[in-house]
Structure 1
């Protein structure tokens, strides 16, 4: 089992971007020393939170990441030209121990409207974008003619020594099947329960096996580990429930297979969905993820808007001391 750290690049309005950045540097250094394998963070625009933008942030944190691979988790590909993302990830790859290309389709109306990209075009732009990026990373003099993107004999320079693996975020059955066809892995979201993931993964596995490809997946999980079960629950309750209420305001629930799924009290929301508890409890759950979902990466997100960075650092240290060596 490998471990990635999902850094939270958002904070509440009463905290500064400088404070957020300093905390993320500390978390990165702590994760490196704790034995994490990967570093990632998300992307949104025009957020209600104070938000640091993904690729500049990851590029700076690569200086602290050591042997960890880095990469977006995820870039909202339909809002960008694939040449831009391909070249930026090539740069990130050169600045780090290696890059992963996490990409997603997006769901927030305000982002599509403000970028001038019709939301109705997002699936087509997404699929063409993935196809074009793969070719730009692996070929010279690329000729491509799509509905949304076209290039005539172009080459990016430099090209990566190895193509970055493409991890595709997906919430619905059709999107998961697309991830199985077009990606190197389905980048599993933190919002679904283990039971829901298992149902969707049956479709994913069917397609991957037909193609003779690996069925292992990276899974993002809302996580907090503490010396007692109660302490982990209370820390998460204080900061995580409000984050999920914001997801509903943004329309994340409408992007799920079951649109009612996030509309639950905290105790029901956490059940079978979050990793909250003692190190022994977390180890047992992670082993379950490996057995039931073929999880190759567990990617904890353990810091949420408004939460003190010291608490996140303590959690990372505890994961490094008592979880990572034991699963």
Structure 2
């Protein structure tokens, strides 16, 4: 199992873009020095926070984190033409000497679909067609496609990846998990589901499809995580920022994309249970071991910074994880 740092390029609206840049670069470099294997970042448009766009940010990270894998987590694929995103991902891969993973999803925020002029009802068919065509463009030459949303004729992107780029498809509801098993190289597991929910969906919706395809059923998982010398300190620091973060998810409509639409409305103590990885190094180590044993996780990407949390505090958690958690896993 590999470990990644999720450096979400998002912070409080009171910070500038350059302050955010410096904070995120510091977190990424701290994780690299601490022994993390991968750096992952996500995407939103018209954010309520100060937010940097994903692909330019990852391009900068390729020059900062030379010894880490690079992953998108996630690209909102319905907002891109497959030619555009295939060339962007191939460029990121060419800029970076290490492996690249291409994490994608359908999106869920009404404001984003309205701004791009795309009916939200089209998000799944656009995702499916876009994913299939993007994969072909990344692996084939002279691609011809005439679909519902996209058409190309004998298209070849000018930079072809030297190595295969795995496609990780984010999913929440049962039908979406089955889709990830069928169309992608892995189901990218969101940070909102509990371990129990993931295990149940995996055994019922994911593993049977993967077995039918003759493919492995390992999954990359994103988790909210904070490590501190005491359990109380870890929970206190995380709670102050995660409560607001998850209230914002609900206001954006993330709860509507979940299998249980009431799941994110719980009090913090219930929300954190079996979902957030918070505690001492020993507690966090024991919790992370479950992801390999119970979920067959190929990667765990931890998010240890949230809007409003000082970057110093996030780096302290990452350093402690590197010193006392990763060596014992």
Fold in common (TM above 0.5): yes
Which residue number corresponds to residue 113 of structure 1?
Answer: 114
Q: How many residues align?
A: 327
Query: CA separation in 2, counterparts of 1:239 and 1:127?
Result: 34
Q: List gaps (5 residues or longer) in structure 2.
A: none
Deviation at 1:198, TM superposition (A): 1.0
Deviation at 1:32, TM superposition (A): 1.0
Deviation at 1:163, TM superposition (A): 2.6
Deviation at 1:210, TM superposition (A): 1.1
Query: CA separation in 2, counterparts of 1:145 and 1:99?
Result: 28
Which residue number corresponds to residue 180 of structure 1?
Answer: 181
| Pair 1:133-2:104 in alignment | no
Query: CA separation in 1, counterparts of 2:181 and 2:108?
Result: 20
Q: Deviations over 1:27-69 (max 9, x none)?
A: 1111111111111111100111111110000100111112211
Q: Deviations over 1:236-263 (max 9, x none)?
A: 0111110000000000000100000000
Which residue number corresponds to residue 214 of structure 2?
Answer: 212
Which residue number corresponds to residue 272 of structure 2?
Answer: 270
Which residue number corresponds to residue 87 of structure 1?
Answer: 87
Show the 5 A alignment for 1:3-14.
Answer: 3-14=3-14
Show the 5 A alignment for 1:289-304.
Answer: 289-304=291-306
1:8–1:305 CA contact under 8 A, matched in 2: no
Runs of 4+ that moved beyond 6 A? none
Query: CA separation in 1, counterparts of 2:293 and 2:38?
Result: 22
Deviation at 1:12, TM superposition (A): 1.1
1:134–1:163 CA contact under 8 A, matched in 2: no
Show the 5 A alignment for 1:1-327.
Answer: 1-96=1-96, 97-202=98-203, 203-327=205-329
Q: Deviations over 1:169-216 (max 9, x none)?
A: 000000000000011110000001111111110120111011111111
Query: CA separation in 1, counterparts of 2:162 and 2:105?
Result: 24
Deviation at 1:270, TM superposition (A): 0.2
Q: Deviations over 1:66-123 (max 9, x none)?
A: 2211121000000111111111111100111121100000000110011011111111
Length-normalised TM-score, structure 1 = 0.99
Cα RMSD of the aligned pairs, angstroms, is 0.8
Deviation at 1:8, TM superposition (A): 2.0
Query: CA separation in 1, counterparts of 2:93 and 2:69?
Result: 8
Query: CA separation in 1, counterparts of 2:158 and 2:13?
Result: 40
Deviation at 1:164, TM superposition (A): 1.0
Length-normalised TM-score, structure 2 = 0.98
